[in-house]
Structure 1
Amino acid sequence: MVNIFLVDAPAQWDSVVVELRGVEIEFVPSGREGQVESMFLPYEPGNKQVNVSLLVGGDILPISRREFQIGNITKATLRLGENNFLYQGERGYPLRLPNGQTDFSGDLSIRLEPGISYDVIIDFDLEKSIKTTQTNPLAFSFQPTLDIYSGIGLGTVQGSISPTTLQPAIYAIRDSDSLSTHMNASGTYVFRLEPGSYTLFIDPKDEAYVADTLLNVQVTEGQRTTADRVTLSRR
């Protein structure tokens, strides 16, 4: 069984709603090396509009699940529709896909064995996907940026930040790579990461507060690490 999940690294805006059509999986059946097959797994609900900004603090969106024969998954492609919007206050702004592109892919390497359930996680990084192109009137560019990976071998980091009225960006940094997320209304954030040592950098996104850093946060396969609670200080 293969389960497809969407998680989010939301940005500074009130909400971002995307039209989610589904995910296409490319795989090579066992014994047919070189023969790539594709299967489209639609997002089944009739309402395809998904507020991805709500997927924080460990919340995830199940997109689809399907039985696959033994073989290797080599790629996953998230397919969006054209009705995508950013909301700030009571105002909505259309997010137009670049050059009409609707498919956004990532390579995978998952060997499917009988009797095992596998998770494919699509991390939609809104902080990197949406840029402000002008301020008056307000306008945005939209270039969906995804990390697509297997849930196998990952560990989890969970922490909390106050004050909860802020909307800080939290970055997990290892060597030259980084992932970002935000916290939910109670101040909780969650990362799913490969094992290793990470630096967590908290950017308050508010000039009245000082950024903070947690060093040497250890991630262990299959385990949850609780990071120290961070209280951001005023300048």
Structure 2
Amino acid sequence: MLVQEAVNLTKKDQQILDSIMPGQAGWHLQSHLECLQSCPSYDRCGGQGPDGKVCSDEWRDALLDEGSSKVFVHVLKNFDFYNQCDLPGLAAKSDQVTSLRFKFLKAMDGLASQEYAEGSLRLVKHRRRERANGLSLRLKWERFDQTGKLECEACTIDFFAMYGEAGFRVIECHHQIPLSHENHKGKTKLEDLALLCANCHRLAHSDELLHRVDALKEYVKEAQRNPLLPN
């Protein structure tokens, strides 16, 4: 089904998409266009998006599938980068842009299968990076001895206060320089580590800019102050 038919877009929604999709009147020449490296289709679209329509002025005629939906969500999430300043007063976190992004997230959910094949057994071989035995536990006990808490350094939830000794199993150890990163020198110090809850730990690894706890903490604080909720 085409985007125009699959998503309940208002005239304002269409105006927003017209302003941020490459190829529109407000855009630079194709030779000057630089897409974000994190775009889901960056490596395969050649600047034209899935089916050559999504990232163009033909976005209305693009098929809405999992691939195209991800591109729409990505572009709306990065509205401040893609917008050519022809819609004053709008930003990535404005209500109108956020509401439009949630429309595509909802459409993505509707495209997903309601049943999934699971449960079969298969043999999987893979490599994994070696980790120092006891390093994580040492960090947890050291922090607990210092503060009497097992606190997530990003969202500040105290897992000892919530779960007692079970909190030692729940709180997770985060490498601020991932073991697979080129900057990791093969040695890890306690100050290179941080304690995070599972949610914040997952968030930290969703974007290289959030690997460092200081940046992650600011991101979480901003998200708590300005939650992205649909209208």
Q: TM-score, normalised by structure 2?
A: 0.22
Q: 1 or 2 for the larger relative contact order (CA 8 Å, sep ≥6)?
A: 1
Structure with the bigger percentage of strand: 1
Flag the structure with larger Rg: 2
Q: TM-score, normalised by structure 1?
A: 0.21
Structure with the bigger percentage of helix: 2
